[in-house]
Amino acid sequence: MRSPNFDPLSAEIFGRRLKLVTLLVTAVFVALVLRLWLLQIVRGPAYRIQSENNRIHLQDISPFRGLIFDRHGELLVDNRPSFDMFIIPEDIQNRSQILRSLEVLIGIDPEYVSERLEKESAKYPFKPALVKRNLSAEELAVVETHAFNLAGVMIQVKPQRHYIHREFASHLIGYLGEISESQLNSGRYPDSKPGDLIGRYGVERSWEKHLRGLRGGEQVEVDAAGRKLRIISRKPPVPGQNITLTIDKDLQLLAEKALEGKKGAVVAIDPNNGEILAMASAPAFDPNLFIGGIGRSDWVRIISDKEYPLQNRAISGQYPPGSIFKIVVALAGLEEETIDPQEEIFCNGIYTLGNRSYRCWRKQGHGKISLHRALVESCDVYFYKMGKRLGVDKIAQYAEMCGLGRRTGFELGSEKEGLIPTSDWKLKRWGVAWQAGETISMAIGQSFTLVTPLQMAMLIGAVFGDGALYQPKVIKSVEKDGNGIYRFSPTVTGRIAAAPQNMALIRDALIGVVREPTGTGTKARVKGITVAGKTGTAQVIALEKEKPGEKPEEIPSEFMDHAWFVAVAPSDKPAIALAVLVENGGHGGSAAAPIAKELIKAYLQKRSLGSKVASFS
Amino acid sequence: MFDRRLLQNFDWILLLLLILIATVSVVNLYSATYPIISEGSSPIFLKQIYWFLIGFAVLLVMTTFDYHHLERLAYPGYLLSLALLALVFVVGDVRSGSQRWLSFGGISFQPSELIKITLVVSLAEFFNEHGQVNEYRLRDLWQPFLIVAVPCILIAKEPDLGTALTIAIVCFSMILFAKVKWRSLLILFLVAIAAAPFVWGNLKEYQQKRVLTFLSPDMDPLGAGYHINQSKIAIGSGLFWGKGYLKGTQTRLHFLPEQHTDFAFSVLAEEWGFVGSTVLLLLYLLLMLWGINIARNSRDRFGSLIALGIVAMVFWQLVINVSMTTGLLPVVGIPFIMLSYGGSSIVSTSAAMGLLMSISMRRFMFQ
């Protein structure tokens, strides 16, 4: 071997260098251990939390929204499983390809999806963005079978609001809509997240807090690819509270059917406490349409509809009351003693004031007529005279006492107050003094006077009740875990303070409207039940402009009169009071009274049947 | 040739350390490749056992082989491994974007692993031949620089920048150990700084990105920074005692990248905590100190230099890998020596350890 052995000097130098190397290696070892100490001991707890966050995803579980029942416990609104499609913006590899695939597979507008993604991904790149709610079975199958090249697309099952009877009481029940940015920021919806649906109208809006329930959550272990491996813990959602309405489903259905193809409203209340038994407004809308992120075309169709299907005509439709207002004038006259019920005046079909003449609806006139018949046959000339005796401000005073010209306090809001003119109002509003002729028109419910169907129902209810004006309410009870947390109780908002004998006179006349052969409301007669009522025909165009000799049939429909009918039954022990308004329906006695009749008949029959069943058990 | 004294002088301590490390490696790989949902184990840890057995055979062969023969075989061996390295560019397999592998029949290996050893031996031979006691000047060192530069450039072109740098650092450590004049070192340092922009410009984009994300890992938390962050989370979340064997969530749920190769240490640190990772590093410290001891006890300059080169090899691979997994260095793709999965690496490391043992056993032989 030619390898030379170390000479002593060389060995010494090598030894010194090796000691240096030993020192160096040990020092680096210490440095690495210190690094581990820093990571695992000093910063360890923070990293432990990060590793937990890594593997644990929080997933929301939507609560079941509270159910809505009718007064007899029949289910009106529930929830159905909905298969919703989400896209996680961060997980998409090729956006344009995904958009194209989705368009081809299930026909979603790529522009719409793109818009949703832009909106979401800026703020929450890992949060699934909702793209389409409620996929059909076919769409679901197509998406599932193509899942392998739809990375980032996921399907989640969530409960979805379902309005069983579609357009049923849609103006009362309302609808849901996606929560808006400003609502989210308002702090009024602390539990809500973007994409949540909240009540936007009707009971759904007013009782949102109770119906919503509490969101639950799941801690899910996921791997780096985001696959769900197991559920670590789960906080069950708290379902929303169930609401029972005062609505009677059958009566409501009947009211809606009666209004089918028409424009108008029907309100039925229990005159003893203000419970709303039915409230229909036509045309109506299907609240189910609003859920799937209402299609643009549907939305445009609904809001641009000239017939305003979203408007609840029963509370926000304002119409001249027509002859129904004669109840108020009669009451005012009796109380102010400007009307003597025995006094007979002569109606020749025309009343002249100054150089203007006002016609009675009955061209040939009513002849000699007193209060009772004037109401039964709705003589205009009689009330022109009585109105003139009273003057505008006295009439207005009694109208206000009867709850007109102000909101009834309807529980769900969005109510209009109508209008009861006074001489002061005229001066302020128009800068012109009140004209005597306007009092004449006002006495038969024309002129500036405006009322809502709900106000009319409350009025007739109060006249046949003890004079109390109740706040109309629609919520019978709210239940939480089977325990009632809210129960209906009547609220009195006003009182028709009149002498009992005067009230009796008016009630008697209103019974005559239906019962007596010359009454204008004979079409509301129900066999075996005393129905009381009053017809009204609200003019759309001023009476004086009507050319003599022109027949009603020749008038275009939008200028045809609105038909009114208010009724109460049974008259001695009232169980139901209602107001029917058919826009451009013509005469109240012929267009509105038959509807009232149908409703009264059905309701009272069902009620007596129900009480029989109750007395059996 | 075989001498009874060889058996007497057999280095049981070195063997014990190696067996301990190999055992830790297999146990750790079993966890690193443990499937998430389905029961049963992945064949990777079994393959690692086979590789260790093959490595053990190589080690025994190298042990019985008298390393003094390598004085003659050093340069031819170096040239042969250089030729294989060049061959990679002609017939090498391309795996995940780089050409590092040669296949013979069913077996594939990385020539860059082989050249680690032939380089160490060649450098040892060079300093053995030019055994001056005085300090080396730059003009004395052009040969060793050339010997190192050629394979390093080839490896960097594969591209496998991490391995090229590691080999360069190991060789440079050997040259430093042989003692270079301070002035020459200063010149080298200045040249390196001057060359830095040029090297940067020649880096591939992904390599530049790695360096940048190393400098600020939060710049791209889902791209290149992801690996560093997830590794730090894995190691840090192990706390003092670790999450327990097979219970590392970062590993189990695949948040760790390359967990059976480059990030095997993170797996261990997560499951065995500060205690386990310190014990592992301690095993390697003992191995290196023992290697230095072998270098000290070697009767000749050649053996001493080889032993030192092998210690440098272990040292730098370890330091680079641990620094990388703990976020002290950019992700360069250097496996944890012996702990990570990898056949070529195990075989070449076994050969190196065999050499070390050969030197250790012949420490009392006078020729």
* Whether A178 and A263 share a structural domain: no
Of the candidates B68, B230, B277, the beta carbon closest to that of A1 is on B68
Give me the pLDDT at residue A540, please. 78
CATH number at residue A441: 3.40.710.10
| CA dihedral for A130, A136, A141, A143, sign (positive or negative) | negative
- Classify residue A294: in a domain, yes or no: no
Looking at chain A, how many residues does it have? 617
Say if residue B287's pLDDT is above 50: yes
Residue A87 is inside which H or E element, if any? strand A75-87
| Cβ distance of A44 and B237 shorter than 8 Å | yes
Are the beta carbons of A533 and A566 closer than 8 angstroms? yes
* Whether A159 and A257 share a structural domain: no
| Cβ distance of A221 and B322 shorter than 8 Å | no
Q: Exposure of B216 by Cβ count < 10 A (0-12 exposed, 13-18 middle, 19+ buried)?
A: exposed
* Whether A123 and A144 share a structural domain: yes
| Cβ distance of B319 and A28 shorter than 8 Å | yes
For residue B249, which residues of chain A lie inside 8 Å, CB to CB? 51-52, 54-55
- Classify residue A549: in a domain, yes or no: yes
* First-residue to last-residue Cα distance in chain A: 120
DSSP labels, A590-615? HHTHHHHHHHHHHHHHHHHHHHHHHH
Give me the pLDDT at residue A544, please. 42
CA-nearest residue to B367 within chain A is A1
| Cβ distance of B233 and A2 shorter than 8 Å | no
The better pLDDT of the pair B131, A208 is held by A208
| Cβ distance of A36 and B269 shorter than 8 Å | yes
Give me the pLDDT at residue A567, please. 95
* Whether A379 and A512 share a structural domain: yes
CA-nearest residue to B176 within chain A is A17
Q: E strands within A116-253? A: 129-132, 153-163, 176-178, 197-199, 216-222, 228-235, 242-245
- Classify residue A418: in a domain, yes or no: yes
Q: What is the DSSP letter of B136?
A: B
Taking the CA of residue A214 and the nearest CA in chain B, the distance in Å comes to 31
Phi, psi angle pair for A577, to nearest 5° = -125, 140
Mention every residue, 6+ apart, whose C-beta is less than 8 A from residue A49: none
Taking the CA of residue A299 and the nearest CA in chain B, the distance in Å comes to 41
Give me the pLDDT at residue A404, please. 95
Of the candidates A6, A26, A54, the beta carbon closest to that of B255 is on A54
Q: In what order do the strands lie in the sheet with A532-538?
A: A276-282, A264-269, A576-582, A562-569, A532-538
Q: pLDDT for B160-194, tens place per residue?
A: 888 888 999 999 999 888 877 778 888 888 888 88
For residues A373 and B160, what is the distance between their CA atoms, to the nearest angstrom?
110
A206 counts as catalytic: no
Give me the pLDDT at residue B252, please. 77
Q: What is the DSSP letter of B158?
A: T
For residue B282, which residues of chain A lie inside 8 Å, CB to CB? 29
For residues B165 and A151, what is the distance between their CA atoms, to the nearest angstrom?
39
Mention every residue, 6+ apart, whose C-beta is less than 8 A from residue A302: A285, A289, A294, A309, A310
Q: Tokens 């209004």 map to which residue?
A: A259
- Classify residue A46: in a domain, yes or no: no
Give me the pLDDT at residue A582, please. 94
Span B250-278, average pLDDT: 88
Range of A109's domain?
57-245
When scoring B249, B267, B300 by the number of chain A Cβ atoms within 10 A, the one with the most, hence best to mutate, is: B249
Nearest to A15 by CA among B219, B292, B147: B292
Of the candidates B36, B253, B289, the beta carbon closest to that of A22 is on B289
For residue B273, which residues of chain A lie inside 8 Å, CB to CB? 40
Taking the CA of residue B54 and the nearest CA in chain A, the distance in Å comes to 29
Of the candidates A4, A35, A40, the beta carbon closest to that of B131 is on A4
Provide the pLDDT confidence category of residue B367 given band limits of 50, 70 and 90.
very low
- Classify residue A360: in a domain, yes or no: yes
Give me the pLDDT at residue A154, please. 80
| Cβ distance of B234 and A51 shorter than 8 Å | yes
**What is the token pair recorded at A374?**
């004037």
Of the candidates B237, B299, B319, the beta carbon closest to that of A48 is on B237
CA-nearest residue to B287 within chain A is A25
Neighbours of B296 (CB within 10 A): 19
* Whether A208 and A329 share a structural domain: no
**What is the token pair recorded at B184?**
């020459």
- Classify residue A29: in a domain, yes or no: no
* Whether A182 and A259 share a structural domain: no
For residue B133, which residues of chain A lie inside 8 Å, CB to CB? 9-10, 13
Say if residue B215's pLDDT is above 90: no
For residue A36, which residues of chain B lie inside 8 Å, CB to CB? 235, 269, 274, 277-278, 281, 326
Say if residue B15's pLDDT is above 90: yes
Q: Tokens 């195990």 map to which residue?
A: B346
For residues A441 and A98, what is the distance between their CA atoms, to the nearest angstrom?
68
For residue B72, which residues of chain A lie inside 8 Å, CB to CB? none
Of the candidates A47, A54, A223, the beta carbon closest to that of B36 is on A223
- Residues of chain A short of pLDDT 70, as ranges, are 1-10, 90-91, 93, 120-127, 224-227, 292-297, 299, 541-558, 611-617
* Whether A556 and A434 share a structural domain: yes
For residues A230 and A233, what is the distance between their CA atoms, to the nearest angstrom?
9
Neighbours of A253 (CB within 10 A): 17
Taking the CA of residue B234 and the nearest CA in chain A, the distance in Å comes to 7
* Whether A407 and A431 share a structural domain: yes
Are the beta carbons of B253 and B309 closer than 8 angstroms? no
Q: E strands within A283-390? A: 345-347, 350-353, 356-359, 367-369
* Whether A214 and A256 share a structural domain: no
| Cβ distance of B289 and A26 shorter than 8 Å | yes
For residue A15, which residues of chain B lie inside 8 Å, CB to CB? 296
Q: pLDDT for A193-224, tens place per residue?
A: 777 888 888 999 999 989 998 888 887 777 76
Q: How many domains does chain A have?
A: 2
- Classify residue A26: in a domain, yes or no: no
For residue A32, which residues of chain B lie inside 8 Å, CB to CB? 281, 319, 322-323, 326
* Whether A257 and A182 share a structural domain: no
Q: Which amino acid is at A27?
A: A
For residue A221, which residues of chain B lie inside 8 Å, CB to CB? 253
Nearest to A566 by CA among A457, A472, A466: A457
Neighbours of B114 (CB within 10 A): 23
Are the beta carbons of A40 and B235 closer than 8 angstroms? yes
| Cβ distance of B300 and A4 shorter than 8 Å | yes
Taking the CA of residue B132 and the nearest CA in chain A, the distance in Å comes to 9
CA-nearest residue to A22 within chain B is B289
**What is the token pair recorded at A98?**
């995904």
| Cβ distance of A55 and B296 shorter than 8 Å | no
Last residue within a domain, chosen from A190, A223, A245: A245
For residue A228, which residues of chain B lie inside 8 Å, CB to CB? none
* Whether A66 and A198 share a structural domain: yes
Distance, C-alpha B70 to centroid of its chain:
21
Q: Which amino acid is at A215?
A: R
Provide the pLDDT confidence category of residue B288 given band limits of 50, 70 and 90.
very high
Taking the CA of residue B229 and the nearest CA in chain A, the distance in Å comes to 10
* Whether A345 and A232 share a structural domain: no
ipTM value, please give it. 0.91
Q: Which of A101, A323, A441, A571 is catalytic?
A: A323
Of the candidates B177, B281, B301, the beta carbon closest to that of A6 is on B301
Last residue within a domain, chosen from A191, A213, A245: A245
| Cβ distance of B36 and A229 shorter than 8 Å | yes
When scoring A36, A52, A219 by the number of chain B Cβ atoms within 10 A, the one with the most, hence best to mutate, is: A36
Q: pLDDT for B319-349, tens place per residue?
A: 999 998 998 887 777 899 999 998 889 999 9
Share of chain B above pLDDT 90, in %: 43
CA-nearest residue to A56 within chain B is B249
When scoring A32, A35, A90 by the number of chain B Cβ atoms within 10 A, the one with the most, hence best to mutate, is: A32
Helices marked H in A336-422: 371-376, 380-390, 392-401
Phi, psi angle pair for A148, to nearest 5° = -65, -30
Give me the pLDDT at residue A2, please. 37
Give me the pLDDT at residue A552, please. 46
Taking the CA of residue A33 and the nearest CA in chain B, the distance in Å comes to 6
| Cβ distance of A223 and B296 shorter than 8 Å | no
Of the candidates A21, A29, A47, the beta carbon closest to that of B236 is on A47
- Classify residue A15: in a domain, yes or no: no
For residue B269, which residues of chain A lie inside 8 Å, CB to CB? 36, 40
